[in-house]
Amino acid sequence: MPVPIFDFDGTLVDSDEALAAPFVALGVPRAEVTFGHVFEDECRRLGIDVADYLALYDPSAAKPFPGVDDVIARLDRWALCSNKNGADGRAELARFGWTPDVALFSDAFGGGPKQLGPVLDALSVEPAEVVFVGDTAHDRACARAVGCRFALAGWNARAVPEPGDTVLAQPADLLGDHRP
């Protein structure tokens, strides 16, 4: 089995409402909030101060998607690559009791969008040895940029498949399990 590298928000955790709540509290209409990019970029796009956003973000509001805990517990080796704020991401990993071999957040990319190259380097693996599991077009592009396989987290209703995507209907599909 290839080493899975996961996106975090929208892939492992159902966090849309947790991510949107600070924007809404700061006066942004919920329909204007978008996902899948660096939160600082979304703050800038919406005219929100990053510090104000972070002061209102509740890291306890995000919950793992059903079946994710079971899959994580069964993996010998895995990694995480996320646009999430590093402090919040590490706090959420600790809260869930998840210990990936490598976990890189936006602070590892100089505040820019996530990149899989540094994760591959930290894991000491080649692109052919991994699969990147994500929920957005940006995740798909990250996989293409390094030439690794991509699997769409189809358990997230917001994920939109494109031709050629491997779509996982539930987290256990990553392991070849097809339990209901």
30-50: burial string, b at 16+ Cβ within 10 Å, e else: eeebebbebbbebbeebebee
Please count the structural domains in the chain. 2
Stretch 65-86: mean pLDDT: 95
74 and 160 inside one domain: yes
Rounded Cα distance, 173 and 168, in Å: 6
C-alpha dist (Å) from residue 5 to 23, 104, 148, 178: 28, 10, 10, 21
Per-residue pLDDT tens over the stretch 7-56: 999 999 998 898 899 999 999 999 999 887 778 889 999 999 999 998 99
The reply to whether 71 falls in a domain is yes
Contact (Cβ atoms closer than 8 angstroms) between residue 160 and residue 141: no
Nearest CA to 22 out of 11, 33, 31 is that of 33
Query: What pLDDT band is residue 132 in, cutting at 50, 70 and 90?
Result: very high
**Residues 109, 95 share a domain:** yes
Query: 44 lies in which domain range?
Result: 16-56
Under 8 Å between Cβ of 64 and 46:
no
User: Which of the 8 DSSP states describes residue 174?
Assistant: G
**Residue 154 sits in the same domain as residue 118:** yes
Residues 93 and 28 in one domain: no
In this structure, is residue 180 part of a structural domain? no
